[in-house]
Structure 1
Amino acid sequence: MSKIRYIFNTLLKAIKFSLFAIKFLCKIISKIFESILEKLRFSITFKITVAYVLTFLTVFFLMSGTILISFKYYIDNGINGDYLSILGTILIVCNITGLVIIAVIGARASKKFLSPVDTMTKTVKEISINALDKRLDVKGSKNELKDLAKTFNEMLDRIEISVEQQNQFVSDASHELRTPISVIQGYANLLDRWGKDDKEVLQESISSIKSEAENMKELVEKLLFLARSDKHTQKIEKQPFMMDELIEEILRETKLIDISHHIESDYNEKFTLFADRKLVKEALRIFIDNSIKYTPEEGTIKVDSYVKSTTAVVTIGDTGIGISENDLPNIFNRFYRADKSRTKSSGGTGLGLSIAKWIIENHNGKIDVWSKIDIGTVIRIELPLR
C-alpha cells in the first residue's frame, strides 16, 4: 500500500507540474498565436480550429511526456505491480485533465474570437432614425466580422445620406409650395375685402391666382416626376425616331413662344436615335428654357446635333450671363439656383436641370457644361444611338 500511495503521490506531483507547465506554455502560445493572426487574415472558424488543435497537441505532448517519465521512474526504481492498472489510472486521469483544459481554453478562445458580436449587437440596438451617425467599431484581426462591420457601416452611410437628402427635399419642397399658396391666399383675402366691387383688383387677383396656380401645378408635376424616379417607377419607353426631326420641332416651337432671342442651328444631322422621344424632348426643352431665362434679349441660342462614332451629340449654346465656377458643380442639385437674387418667375423652381440630368443618365448618356461669366454657356449632351 505504501508503494501505491507513493506512486499516486508522485503522479499527482507530476500532474500538478504538468498543469503549471501547460498553463505557462498556453499563455506563450496564445500570445504568439494572436500576434500572428493580427497580421494575417483568417476566418473565425479557422482560428478556433487552430486554437483547439494547438491546445490538444500541447496537452497531448505534455501528458505523454508525464506518462513516459513516470514509467521510466517506476522501471528505474524496480517497482513491481499491476502495470496495466497503473497505466489505466494514469490515462484516465490524463484524459480527464486534458479534456478539462481543452474545454476551458477552447471556451476562452471562442469567447475572445466572438466577443465583437456583443459589441456589434449593443451598437446596433443604439442605432435609430435619430441616431444614424453611430458606426460599428470591431477592433482586432481581420476576419468575417470585420468585413460584416465594414459592410454594415457602408450601408449606414448610404441610409444617412438618403435620409438627409429626403429631409432636405421635403424642406425645399415645402418652402417652394409655401410661396404660391401665400400669394393665392393673399389675393383671395384681397378679393374678399375689395375685389367684389373693384374690377381692377378683381382682374389683377384673378391673373395672379391663375399664374401662381400654374406655377404650383408645374412644381407638383416636377416633384412627382422626381419621386417616381427615386422609386424607380418612372417609365422609359424607348423606340427609334429621327433626331433631326425632333430638333426641328423643338426649334419651331421655341421660335413661336420666344421672339426676343435669335434661335439658330448651324447643322442638324439626320440620324435615328433609339430612346424615349418624349423624355429626350423634355430634357432638351429644359436646357433651352434655361438658356432663354439667362440670356438677355437679342441674344443667341444655338442648338446643333451630329453623330460621333456610335454616339449622338447635341449641343445647346447661348450668349447669356454664364455660370460662375463656384456654382457650376451644383447646378444639377435639386432646388439649387445659381443666382440667389433672381425671383422664382425668372429662376424657376430649381428642379428642371435635376430632371434633365436624370433623363440623360437613364439613357446611358452624359452631360458636359462649359460656361464663362458674361460670355455664355454651352451644354454638350451625349447619347448612345442604341
Structure 2
Amino acid sequence: ASSIQTMQEIERSLKFKKIPAGSPNQDELSQMTATFNRMMERLEESFQSQQQFVSDASHELNTTLMIIEGYANMLRRWGTRDEDIRKESIESIYEETQRMRTMTQQLLTLASSQQQDSGPYERVELVGCCQQVVAHLKPVHERQISIFTEEKEIWLDANLAKIKQLLVILLDNALKYSSEEIEIWLSTDEKDVHLRVKDYGIGIPESEIKRVFERFYRVDSSRHRKTGGTGLGLPIAKAITDAHQGTIRMESAEGEGTDVIVTLPQKQQERLSLQ
C-alpha cells in the first residue's frame, strides 16, 4: 500500500519521491521498486537540468538585451549630436543582435536534437565531407587546415547535414582559440570511424575539460564576448554524436593545444521505432 501511496503523492504534488524498499524476498516487487526509483532519479536529474538550462538561457539573452537597451538609450540622448557615440552604438547594437540570432538558432538546434534521433541516415563519405567543410572555412579565416588520413574514402551511416555541422563547430572552436595550423586526423577500425580535430592554441585546464560539454559553460567567461562564443557549440556537437550512437571527448594541455576526439559507428543499427 505504501508504494501506491507514494505514487499517488507524486501524481498529486508533482514532486519526485522514491518508494520505500520492501523486504528483500518480494522479488518481482522489489525489482519494480528499484526500477521505479531509478526512473524517479533520472526524471529529477533531467528536470533540474532543464530548469538550469532555462535559467541560463534567460540570463544570456537578458545580458544581450541589456547591452542593446543601454546603447539604444545613448543613441536617443546623444546620438544626434555626437557622431562617435552614434557609430559606437549602432556597431554594438548590430553585434549584439548578431550574437542573439546565433544563440537563438543554437537553442533551437539543441531543442530539436533532444527531441528526436538524427535520422534519416545516408551513406556519408567522411574524407570528402571534411574537404568540403575545410574549403568553405579556409577563405573566411585564411588559416591552414590540414587533413591527415591513410584512407582514400571512409564511409559511415550518418546524417550528412549534422556531420557537417559537427565539423564546423569543432573547427570554429579550434580557429577561435589558436593562431597556428589546425589538423584533422581521420582513421577507421573494424566497426568505428575516428575523427580528431587538433589545434596548437591556448589549451584548457584539466579541471575544466569535463565541463566544456555543458550548455553555456565557458572556460573563461570574460573572454567569450571577444571571441563571440555562446557556450552552446560543444553541447550541440555532443548532441550530434549522441544521436549517432557515438562519443566525443577532449584532451588538452594548457599552452600547448587541444584535441577533440569523436568516435562514430560505421553502421547504424536499425533501431526499433517507438511509434
Distance 1:122 1:129 in 2: 12
Q: What is the match of residue 26 of structure 1?
A: none
1:201 aligns with 2:85: yes
Q: 2:40 aligns with which of 156, 181, 186?
A: 156
Q: What is the match of residue 338 of structure 1?
A: 219
1:237 aligns with 2:127: no
Cα deviation for residue 328 of structure 1 reads: 1.3
Cα deviation for residue 284 of structure 1 reads: 0.9
Which has the higher relative contact order, 1 or 2, with Cα contacts under 8 A spaced 6 or more apart? 2
Distance 2:94 2:70 in 1: 13
Runs of 4+ aligned residues of structure 1 deviating over 4 Å after TM superposition are none
**C-alpha contact 1:321 1:374 (8 A) present in aligned 2:** yes
- Between Structure 1 and Structure 2, how many residues are aligned? 264
Q: What is the match of residue 46 of structure 1?
A: none
Cα deviation for residue 359 of structure 1 reads: 0.9
Distance 2:158 2:172 in 1: 22
Q: What is the match of residue 311 of structure 1?
A: 192
Distance 1:267 1:151 in 2: 46
Distance 1:336 1:326 in 2: 13
Higher strand share: 2
- Give runs of aligned pairs for residues 75-154 of structure 1, distance below 5 A: 117=1, 119-127=2-10, 131-132=15-16, 134-143=17-26, 144-154=28-38
Amino acid in structure 1 at the alignment position of 2:122: Q
Higher helix share: 1
**C-alpha contact 1:313 1:380 (8 A) present in aligned 2:** yes
**Deviation string for 1:115-137 (max 9, x for gaps)?**
xx1x22333344366742x3221
Amino acid in structure 1 at the alignment position of 2:246: G
What SS is found at the alignment partner of 1:349?
Answer: coil
Q: 1:171 aligns with which of 51, 55, 79?
A: 55
- The TM-score normalised by the length of structure 2 is 0.86
**Deviation string for 1:153-177 (max 9, x for gaps)?**
2221111111101110001101111
**Deviation string for 1:42-61 (max 9, x for gaps)?**
xxxxxxxxxxxxxxxxxxxx
What SS is found at the alignment partner of 1:327?
Answer: helix
Cα deviation for residue 235 of structure 1 reads: 5.1
Give 1 or 2 for the bigger CA radius of gyration: 1
Distance 2:13 2:168 in 1: 39
What SS is found at the alignment partner of 2:207?
Answer: coil
1:270 aligns with 2:141: no
Q: What is the match of residue 293 of structure 1?
A: 176
1:220 aligns with 2:104: yes
Q: What is the match of residue 258 of structure 2?
A: 377
Distance 1:171 1:255 in 2: 37
1:120–1:364: structure 2 CA closer, same or farther, 3 Å change rule? closer
What is the root-mean-square deviation in Å for CA atoms of aligned residues? 2.2
**Deviation string for 1:137-192 (max 9, x for gaps)?**
14334214333322222221111111101110001101111111111111111111
Distance 2:13 2:68 in 1: 36
**C-alpha contact 2:113 2:240 (8 A) present in aligned 1:** no
Distance 2:175 2:216 in 1: 19
Amino acid in structure 2 at the alignment position of 1:139: G
- The TM-score normalised by the length of structure 1 is 0.63
What SS is found at the alignment partner of 2:194?
Answer: strand
What SS is found at the alignment partner of 2:215?
Answer: coil
- Can you give the 5+ residue segments of structure 1 that lack an aligned partner in the other structure? 1-116
Amino acid in structure 2 at the alignment position of 1:263: I
Q: Identity percentage over the alignment?
A: 36
